[in-house]
């Protein structure tokens, strides 16, 4: 107890120094944009002729041969029994995996899911040497004299464009789904190159900035000079990069995850619980971030092992995952458990079916399996993190586009409003969401749609 006053004065001194550092850092802001540049990611050398800019209809297809091959591989799966009472603490519990595999083999109807996938219009177009796949969903009805608001929505890993299938009706046809028709969108959801039906880069160095530039070109090709963008996970960074590349073309940026680790506010974490008000943390922020050791440090250590593998040697683990559908399912579905709610690791079934249906989860797996895209999707980590995330210029840049942020309580790392505003100074909407985790559009489509609409409403009234 004798040393407590000294500790308090040390904390106050550290707080003061951090305050001065933050002030200095903020005071040297300058608006800048990323250079747009150009690229060629297809095989071989760039052709001398003009790139084919046609937009071609596309349809998801399957065959008996594809399904029979899947079933044969499932039948030959070898599983290791789990340790007693291990639940999901060692990764995906193989006892529950047996149940999923049995459903996949005997009840899951891939042909039916392909029909569901084809309910929205699919297209492909060549950009920078890559065949880019996207769905483009227009409103079924519009109030007279109104035009829909174009909205680009970008997925992450280990998700896909399918994550957005349940949120799209709330955005394109809100009146039929219990919402007002003051904001009606037409939604464009592309596959990141190397994911699903978008062709993978043949060259090293294909990162989020290159993806952002390609998606910007896609929107121009579709006739949109101005548009909204929305994303979580890699989608949040890609949409941020679009706003950094072409801010005059982005009407608004909505995120449900933020890459804000270069904020000096992160240095306040050890002291934030004791000086919450001083650092601008609310009671909700403190609840979501503390105790620091458990909620942030141990959580990130526990959940980031995959990232180190994929940011260093993605092709090695990719060989196994691309060869075994059961291994692929375990690897991906484990993320849909613990990233949806960390406490789900204490359950024998990982809580998967509390938030998702097996049909939806397995459809996402099939988009990786049938396209053979797991390895190329994992390479995205090496291209973006392999040299260190802080090495990229965009990480040091702020974003001067009107921004909205939805803070879902079970996200991997909570981002308080002042953290987000530091990176996105034009933050006009910040919402503490009542429930939900990392896969927001997939898990809580109506909540996310309502927050997007709230943000757009605030922006348009300004």
Residue numbers annotated as active site = 233, 381, 438
CA 54, 57, 58: angle at the middle one, nearest 5? Answer: 125
Closest C-alpha to 219, from 184, 248, 199? 248
Instruction: Determine which helix (DSSP H) or strand (DSSP E) holds 319, and give its type and residue range.
Output: helix 314-323
Question: From edge to edge, which strands make up the β-sheet containing 227-231?
Answer: 55-58, 122-127, 130-137, 185-190, 149-154, 227-231, 250-255, 403-407, 427-432
Angle of helix 110-117 relative to helix 358-369, nearest 10 degrees, comes to 80
Q: What is the pairing mode between strands 185-190 and 130-137?
A: antiparallel
- Token look-up 């270069």 returns 262
The gap from C-alpha 64 to its chain's centroid, in whole angstroms, comes to 32
Partners of 151 in the β-ladder: 187, 228
Taken in order 37, 43, 48, 50, the sign of the CA dihedral is: negative
CB-based contacts of 83, cutoff 8 Å, min separation 6: 90
CB-based contacts of 460, cutoff 8 Å, min separation 6: none
Task: Annotate 92-149 with DSSP letters as a single string.
Answer: S-HHHHHHHHHHHHHT--HHHHHHHHTTS-EEEEEETTEEEEEEEE--S---TT--PE
3-state secondary structure of 310: helix
Phi, psi dihedrals of residue 240, rounded to the nearest 5°:
-60, -45
How far, in Å, CA of 442 to CA of 156, rounded? 12
Task: Annotate 184-219 with DSSP letters as a single string.
Answer: -EEEEEEPPTTSTTSPPPSSTT--HHHHHHHHHHHH
Half-sphere exposure of 168 (CA within 13 A, CB side): 23
The gap from C-alpha 182 to its chain's centroid, in whole angstroms, comes to 27
Taken in order 221, 222, 225, 229, the sign of the CA dihedral is: negative
CA dihedral 169, 171, 175, 178 (to 10 degrees): 80
């Amino acid at each position: 107890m004798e040393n407590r006053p000294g500790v308090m004065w040390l904390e106050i001194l550290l707080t003061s120094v951090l305050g001065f550092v933050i002030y200095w850092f903020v005071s040297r802001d300058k608006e800048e944009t990323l250079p747009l540049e150009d690229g060629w990611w297809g095989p071989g050398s760039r052709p001398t002729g003009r790139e084919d800019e046609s937009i071609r209809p596309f349809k998801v297809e399957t065959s008996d041969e594809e399904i029979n091959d899947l079933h044969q591989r499932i039948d030959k799966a070898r599983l290791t029994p789990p340790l007693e009472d291990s639940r999901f603490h060692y990764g995906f519990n193989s006892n529950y995996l047996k149940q999923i595999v049995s459903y996949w083999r005997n009840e899951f109807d891939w042909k039916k899911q392909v029909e569901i996938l084809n309910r929205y219009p699919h297209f492909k177009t060549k950009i920078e040497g890559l065949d880019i796949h996207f769905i483009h969903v227009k409103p079924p009805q519009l109030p007279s004299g109104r035009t829909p608001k174009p909205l680009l929505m970008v997925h992450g890993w280990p998700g896909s464009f399918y994550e957005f299938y349940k949120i799209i009706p709330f955005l394109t046809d809100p009146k039929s789904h219990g919402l007002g028709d003051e904001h009606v969108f037409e939604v464009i959801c592309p596959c990141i190159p190397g994911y699903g039906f978008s062709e993978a880069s043949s060259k090293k160095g294909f990162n989020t900035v290159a993806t952002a530039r390609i998606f910007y070109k896609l929107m121009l090709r579709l006739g949109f000079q101005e548009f909204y963008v929305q994303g979580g996970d890699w989608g949040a960074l890609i949409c941020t990069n679009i706003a950094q590349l072409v801010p005059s073309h982005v009407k608004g940026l909505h995120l449900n995850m933020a890459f804000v680790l270069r904020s000096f506010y992160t240095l306040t974490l050890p002291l934030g619980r004791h000086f919450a008000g001083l650092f601008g943390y609310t009671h909700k922020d403190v609840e979501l971030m503390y105790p620091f050791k458990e909620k942030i440090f141990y959580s990130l250590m526990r959940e980031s092992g995959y990232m180190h593998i994929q940011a260093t040697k993605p092709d090695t683990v990719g060989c196994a995952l691309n060869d075994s559908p059961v291994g692929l399912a375990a690897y991906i579905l484990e993320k849909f458990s613990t990233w949806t709610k960390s406490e789900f690791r204490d359950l024998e079934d990982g809580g998967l079916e509390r938030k998702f249906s097996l049909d939806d989860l397995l459809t996402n797996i099939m988009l990786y399996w049938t396209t053979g895209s797991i390895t190329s999707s994992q390479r995205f980590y090496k291209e973006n993190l392999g040299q260190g995330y802080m090495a990229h210029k965009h990480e040091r840049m702020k974003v001067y586009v009107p921004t909205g942020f939805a803070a879902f309580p079970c996200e991997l790392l909570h981002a308080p409003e002042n953290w987000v505003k530091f990176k996105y100074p034009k933050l006009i909407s910040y919402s503490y969401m009542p429930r939900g985790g990392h896969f927001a559009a997939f898990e809580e489509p109506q909540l996310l749609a309502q927050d997007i609409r709230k943000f757009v409403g605030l922006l348009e009234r300004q």
